[in-house]
Amino acid sequence: MVSLRRARQDDAADVAALLVELGYPDNEVDAVEQRLAMWAREPAGIVLVAQLNGRVVGTVAVTAIPYLEREGRWGRIVALVVSAECRGQGVGRQLVEAAEAAAGDLGCVTMEVTSARGRTESHPFYRSLGYQDWADRSTRYLKDLVPGALSRKYGARFPASP
């Protein structure tokens, strides 16, 4: 039986383990605890966890970004992961649906998520939930404000397509 709730600071160890599964091995529990505290104070965002049989097995973070050119905001899924042994049981779907509901409560009229090309599971997953791939209509530009911030965290993990 899956249940969802807001993440608490004492979920830090479980959330850190999930972030390691997502591919970010340098997530120390203390740092994740501080980030969860920051998210708890964030008025335009939320972190949720999914519990299966009382154990945290998934997490999603979503934030609401205001549009300027139109009314409303868009919700951006910042992170989503379900523990490998619990995939395929509807946990990810429930997390995304809860993230969408939270985004709706924050005034969002659309949703957005980016996912590395190499994440082969996530693309059919998002499509099955109604997300459309707009990569042929927009390009994603990124830039470091702190030197090396992108390359240290993502460069090796997500190499460019040949």
Q: Which residues bind ligand COA (CB under 6 A)?
A: 22, 80-82, 87-93, 113, 115, 119, 121-122, 124-125, 128
Half-sphere exposure of 70 (CA within 13 A, CB side): 8
Which one, 86 or 107, has the nearer CB to ligand COA?
86
Q: Tell me the closest approach of the beta carbon of residue 91 to ligand COA, in angstroms.
A: 4
Which one, 65 or 107, has the nearer CB to ligand COA?
65
Q: Tell me the closest approach of the beta carbon of residue 140 to ligand COA, in angstroms.
A: 13
Q: Tell me the closest approach of the beta carbon of residue 20 to ligand COA, in angstroms.
A: 11
Nearest residue to the partner ligand COA, using Cβ: 92
Which one, 51 or 89, has the nearer CB to ligand COA?
89
Using CA atoms, how far apart are residues 92 and 141, in angstroms rounded to an integer?
28
Contact by Cβ (8 Å): 17, 11: no
Q: Tell me the closest approach of the beta carbon of residue 127 to ligand COA, in angstroms.
A: 8
61: Cβ contacts below 8 Å, ≥ 6 apart: 39, 45, 46, 47, 48, 77, 78, 79, 80
Q: For residue 18, what is the DSSP state?
A: H
Which one, 23 or 155, has the nearer CB to ligand COA?
23
Which one, 70 or 155, has the nearer CB to ligand COA?
155
- Bridge partners of 111, per DSSP, are 75
Q: Tell me the closest approach of the beta carbon of residue 114 to ligand COA, in angstroms.
A: 7
Residue 2, CA distances (Å) to 51, 73, 90 in order: 6, 29, 9
